[in-house]
Homo-oligomer: A and B are copies of this chain.
Amino acid sequence: MAGNMAGTITVADLLKHGSAGIGTFDGIDGEVVILDGEVYQAVADGTVNHVTDPQAKLPFASVHTPTDLEAVNLTGVDFNLLNGSFIRQHELQNVFAALRLTGTFSHVKIRIMPKQEPPYPNLLEVAHMQALFSRDQVKGTIIGYYAPEIFGSVTAAGWHLHFISDDRQFAGHLLEFSAPQATGDLQVFDMLDQHLPVADRAFRQSEVDLASLRAGIAESEGNQE
């Protein structure tokens, strides 16, 4: 997020660490959804690619292996519910967790980051270029993660969720949603493996501007209400 947008891990290596998750491709090219080991990439024109090249590289991704799942069944669900009673009920505020929710969504609004070329702009600049799409009455899956507030400079604090429709034609980073009912599962993690691309020269040599990074995260994630 601090401008290190070149891919550093291959799809093949990433999938060794989990079969479900979210991410983005080289140059923050789009929004990635990983379900059952299948990798989908929503790109900025609104189309969705099924990614089958194991050598495609990602600069950032979070994956996990679904296990120890707690079933959830929510009615009248939206970000207000997830950010409020859901966090309190499941005592998520200090932990990492994965959430998967399927259902028929009455409204879904997503954004898709456009691919950048070097020299990379900072996240705040890219956040202003994001493409927005929405769809009503769409069947699909929400997948993503909850991270504690104190990790908010490292990753997106709170919920970071992506959406993909059942027909795999509509996907992106989730900004708004609502559903009369959705079911799925929650998984609380006792360990986060933070991999850093220490062999990548550009990563090692880059300087992070913490203030600009925080502003960029807020701008690109801040629409969740």
Contacts and interface: CB of A to CB of B under 8 A. Distances in A.
Interface stretch (A89-97, A100-108, A113-121): A89-97
A205 interface: yes
Contact of A149 (B94, B95, B151, B210): B210
Contacts of A192: 193-194, 196
A6 to B, nearest CB: 14
Contacts of A149: 208, 210
A77 interface: no
A196 B191 contact: yes
A208 B157 CA distance: 13
A70 interface: no
Contacts of A153: 150-153
B203 A150 contact: no
Contacts of A151: 153-154
Contact of A190 (B2, B95, B199): B199
Interface in A133-161: 148-154
A196 B190 contact: yes
B150 A210 contact: yes
B191 A195 contact: yes
B193 A198 contact: no
A204 interface: yes
Contacts of A2: 150
A204 B154 contact: no
A173 B94 CA distance: 26
Contact of A193 (B193, B197, B208, B210): B193
Given A149-B210, A190-B196, 20 more contacts: A2-B150, A91-B205, A94-B203, A94-B206, A94-B208, A95-B196, A95-B204, A96-B196, A150-B154, A150-B210, A151-B154, A152-B153, A152-B210, A188-B198, A189-B196, A189-B198, A190-B197, A191-B195, A192-B196, A193-B193
